[in-house]
Amino acid sequence: MDVRIELLTVPVTDVDRAIAFYVEGCGFALDHDVRVDDATRFVQVTPPGSACSIMLDSFTGTMPPGSQKGVQCVVADVDAARADLVGRGVACTEVDEQPWGRFVFFADPDGNAWALQELPREGSR
């Protein structure tokens, strides 16, 4: 049985600020922005090349804004990904070299934490 993760929830306080961060700052695509009613706005963004989208949640209250930690995305070149984020105004860590990969960490305006990982090359373990 195949199991695919296709949607993650990221809790935010301000949807417009989150859209600006993820779309303009991170280069994600804005897939949906639908106002369902006065209290509910469904917003979904997707990282480039990803099969998994992100729902920017300001209405369910299931997680406090900023509580999503440890979302990790794999990139081919973490140096290039970091340079792109920094060029878009996103504050990132320097590249963290580990035996299991190279990492860059950043957070959205609410404090939801993200990691970018470049996997080790074959034979470099």
Within a domain: 11: yes
Within a domain: 12: yes
Number of domains in the chain: 1
Task: Indicate the burial class of 5 (C-beta count within 10 angstroms; 0-12, 13-18, 19 or more).
Answer: exposed
- Per DSSP, 96 falls in state E
Parts of the chain with a pLDDT under 70: 123-125
Within a domain: 1: no
| Domain span at 49 | 7-118
- The SS3 of residue 78 is helix
Within a domain: 76: yes
Within a domain: 2: no
Tell me what pLDDT residue 1 has. Answer: 93
Within a domain: 124: no
CATH label of the domain that carries residue 104: 3.10.180.10
Tell me what pLDDT residue 39 has. Answer: 87
